[in-house]
Amino acid sequence: MSTFLQLVQRLHREVGAAGVAPTAVTSQTGEAQRLVDWISNADLQVQNLWHDWKFLRTEFSSSNTTTAGVRTLAAPSDLARWDPETFFIQESGQDAEPAAEVVEYQEVRGEKFDTSVASRDIPYRIIIMPDNTLRFDPVPDAVYTITADYFAKPTVLAADADVSLIPDRFHESVILGQAMIYYANHESAPEIIEQGMKIYEQSLPRLESVQSPSSSFNSRYTSSGSQIQVVAQ
């Protein structure tokens, strides 16, 4: 595992940057700040390649419950995208049951909804709204526990000890390789571009093979390639 600061220091060493390696990721200027930015940008670039990386999957936990008479439930603050196939509804004292139907709002926007609350109105349909909040149909008549999986937003490295969400064995390959490309583009250093691309090209397919859902990896990987971007930021 490599921290944000350790990756910046490793980048400084690998590219032979001038001066002393940064001792912190904050309050930097000039070359040192660029090294910090390149590591941060490289980490985000890889996190953003796929919305459904396994390392971005998390759980909407059992503490999330409906309120009697309230149609909606707020989304987690770090949510990027729901996994519609994973929704369960649980009544107190009963086993959790899969939601009968989960749809996007645009699929049902033309329908009229009954907003009254009747006895035993267990929601049979969950509607994912444009802002990712959840709307229930019918309106819940009681407290029901809602669980589901979702994919979180990428996180930005900010403090010295921050650690990327990307599995640690890829920190000094995928992240470092992409950061080297950013550095080399800025410095017009073709030999470092070649070195960075070699590291990145060798490591990204390995990361994708273990962190992309198996059901979609083969088709999307063969059609999209390794998504290499040789663009300075």
The encoded tokens of residue 182 equal: 């950013």
DSSP H or E segment with residue 148 = strand 144-152
| Mean local confidence (pLDDT), 14-40 | 96
pLDDT of residue 214: 60
My answer on whether 179 and 143 are in the same domain is no
My answer on whether 137 and 198 are in the same domain is no
pLDDT of residue 175: 98
Q: How many domains does the chain have?
A: 2
pLDDT of residue 62: 67
pLDDT of 133-176, one tens digit each?
A: 999 999 999 999 999 999 999 999 999 999 999 999 999 999 99
Q: How far apart are CA 185 and CA 189, in angstroms?
A: 7
My answer on whether 185 and 130 are in the same domain is no
pLDDT of 190-225, one tens digit each?
A: 999 999 999 999 999 999 999 987 645 444 443 344
pLDDT of residue 215: 46
Q: How far apart are CA 135 and CA 70, in angstroms?
A: 9
Please check whether residue 207 lies inside any domain of the structure: yes
Please check whether residue 203 lies inside any domain of the structure: yes
- What is the per-residue burial (b if ≥16 Cβ within 10 Å, else e) of 194-225? ebbbebbeebbeebbeebbeeeebeeebeeee
Q: How far apart are CA 99 and CA 148, in angstroms?
A: 10
Please check whether residue 230 lies inside any domain of the structure: no
Please check whether residue 160 lies inside any domain of the structure: no
What is the residue range of 34's domain? Answer: 4-48+168-224
Helices (H), 21-169: 30-47, 105-108
The pLDDT mean for the chain works out to 89
Q: Report the predicted TM-score, pTM, of the whole model to 2 decimal places.
A: 0.83
Does residue 58 have a pLDDT over 70?
yes
| Mean local confidence (pLDDT), 125-139 | 95
pLDDT of residue 33: 97
Residue 106 makes CB contacts below 8 A (sequence gap 6+) with 130
pLDDT of residue 135: 95
My answer on whether 30 and 73 are in the same domain is no
My answer on whether 37 and 69 are in the same domain is no
Please check whether residue 162 lies inside any domain of the structure: no
pLDDT of residue 95: 87
Task: Encode 114-137 in three state secondary structure.
Answer: CCCCCCCCCCCEEEECCCCCEEEE
DSSP state of 168: G
Q: Name the one residue in this structure whose structure tokens are 């088709």.
A: 219
- Of 98, 117, 152, the one marking the end of a domain is 152
My answer on whether 98 and 75 are in the same domain is yes
Question: What residues are paired with 57 via a beta bridge?
Answer: 151
Does residue 227 have a pLDDT over 60?
no
- Of 152, 176, 202, the one marking the end of a domain is 152
pLDDT of residue 3: 98
